[in-house]
Amino acid sequence: MQTKLSRRSFILRALSSGAGVGAFGATPRALLAAEQKKLPDATAKKLPPWRGFNLLEKFNGRNDPFNERDFEWMAEWGFNFVRLPMDYRGWIVDKDWTRFHEPTLRQIDDAVKLGEKHGIHVQLNFHRAPGYTVARPPEEKSVWTDEEALRVCAMHWALFAKRYAGIPNRRLSFNLFNEPANVGAEAYRRVVARVAEAIRAHDKDRLIVCDGRNYGRVPPDELLSLSVAAATRGYEPFHLTHYKANWVNGADQWSEPAYPDKEWNKEVMRDRLIVPWKKLESQGMGVMVGEFGSHNRTPHHVVLAWLRDLLALWKEAGWGWALWNFRGSFGILDSGRADVKYEDWHGHKLDQEMLDVLQSFKS
């Protein structure tokens, strides 16, 4: 499939070919540096409207290196953000959560460098942190109640803070926990404060983003005094986004979803998903959407209609977002949908219609 090269892609190809000064009157490397400077500044009070994806190379037991091809394609399509949901078990040694495996850490270093090379903000997330995960199996000790788990979790984040100290916030942020559930506001604040303190002991200005409680659904106003930003989710209505998802009990018994329906439409989503978080933002806490998307069993036309409304609401709100995922059942590549006419993209199956929708809201 032929596509028009973006300015960044043209520069990258010129670099790889060894081109020197060209028609632009500057070297490709200088032009690339100028492109990278366009990544917006980011603060805890105001996050930029990032647009991007989640990459799952180190998610939930996986421990694969990140692929430069993914960063290059995202940049070529005009996106500027990637979230890396990671499992800490990949960078410890022999199940000892106080010992670290340097080769795995270097693979994460590589991802941060790839973000710099391709003009993509990288957000590191502990999807499984020492003491907490939303996935299965649960952690043996709880970071919310166990002092050892909290101490070790803070130690892990301090390791990353030391490793990346000085990298500007326009390029890198830390997302502490994925979708904290079954934890009260007071306990959540206490843990976030402790981990943030450990990070700032080594990198005092690092941008920290914290998911809302109850799986990212509840605005975390208990964190307002901690100088952190907040992340919400885009998985509502749940019966639409997780229809026949085999990890959700009973999802195979749900009726086939439609959108809009009697309960959900754009205005309902505005009231439930936007208004409470805009209130939080008005109090001085930046907001973004760390994950959203729909599993591949929901009819494609339903997903696209829902996406258009949701993306329009986030654009109106001025919030950034990251689709779950890039490749896989929620994504634009190799999603395994039965009702999509895929296009070939370098040997991968591309959902061009979904990509078109995402691109129409990327700026």
Find tokens 């930046």 and name the residue. Answer: 286
Is residue 44 included in any domain, yes or no? no
Residues 29 and 67 in one domain: no
Spatial distance between the Cα atoms of 209 and 204, rounded to a whole number of angstroms? 14
322 and 175 belong to one structural domain: yes
Domain encompassing residue 22 = 8-35
- When the pLDDT of each residue in the chain is averaged and rounded to a whole number, the result is 92
Q: Is residue 2 part of a domain?
A: no
Asked if 110 and 24 sit in the same domain, the reply is no
**Residue 151 and residue 26 share a domain:** no
Do 208 and 347 fall within a single domain? yes
Interatomic CA distance for residues 274 and 219, integer angstroms: 10
42 lies in some domain: no
The residue ranking higher by pLDDT, 29 or 288, is 288
- Domain identity same for 337 and 244: yes
Confidence of residue 33 (pLDDT cuts 50, 70, 90): very low
Q: What percent of the chain has pLDDT over 90?
A: 89
288 belongs to a structural domain: yes
Residues 219 and 291 in one domain: yes
The answer to whether residue 41 is domain-embedded is no
- Residue 21's pLDDT is 44
- Give me the pLDDT at residue 26, please: 44
- 24 with 136, same domain: the answer is no
86 and 218, same domain (yes or no) = yes
Residues 218 and 261 in one domain: yes
Residue 23 has what pLDDT? 39
Domain with residue 174: its CATH number is: 3.20.20.80
Q: Is residue 40, in this structure, part of any structural domain at all?
A: no
Instruction: Let me know if residue 176 belongs to a domain.
Output: yes
In contact, 36 and 119? CB cutoff 8 Å = yes
**What digits encode the pLDDT tens for the residues 316-358?**
999 999 999 999 999 999 999 999 999 999 999 999 999 999 9
Domain-located, residue 109: yes
182 and 316 in a common domain: yes
Answer yes or no: do 70 and 112 share one domain. Answer: yes
SS3 annotation, the chain: CCCCCCHHHHHHHHHHHCCCCCCCCCCHHHHHHHHHCCCCCCCCCCCCCCEEEECCCCCCCCCCCCCHHHHHHHHHCCCCEEEEEEEHHHHEECCEEEEECHHHHHHHHHHHHHHHHHCCEEEEEEEEECCEECCCCCCCCCCCCCHHHHHHHHHHHHHHHHHCCCCCCCCEEEECCCCCCCCCHHHHHHHHHHHHHHHHCCCCCCCEEEECHHHHCECCHHHHHHCCEEEEEECCCHHHHCCCCCCCCCHHHCCCCCCCCCCCCHHHHHHHHHHHHHHHHHCCCCEEEEEECCCCCCCHHHHHHHHHHHHHHHHHHCCEEEECCCECCCCCECCCCCCCCCEEECCEEECHHHHHHHHCCCC
Tens-place pLDDT, residues 37-81: 489 999 999 999 999 999 999 999 999 999 999 999 999 999 999
* β-bridge partners, 118: none
Q: For residue range 143-195, what is the model confidence (pLDDT) as tens digits?
A: 999 999 999 999 999 999 999 999 999 999 999 999 999 999 999 999 999 99
Single pTM value for the model: 0.91
Q: Residue 49 is encoded by which pair of tokens?
A: 């409207």
Q: How many domains does the chain contain in total? A: 2
Bridge pairing between strands 348-350 and 92-93 = unpaired
**Token pair 């973000």: residue:** 115
Mean pLDDT on 29-41: 59
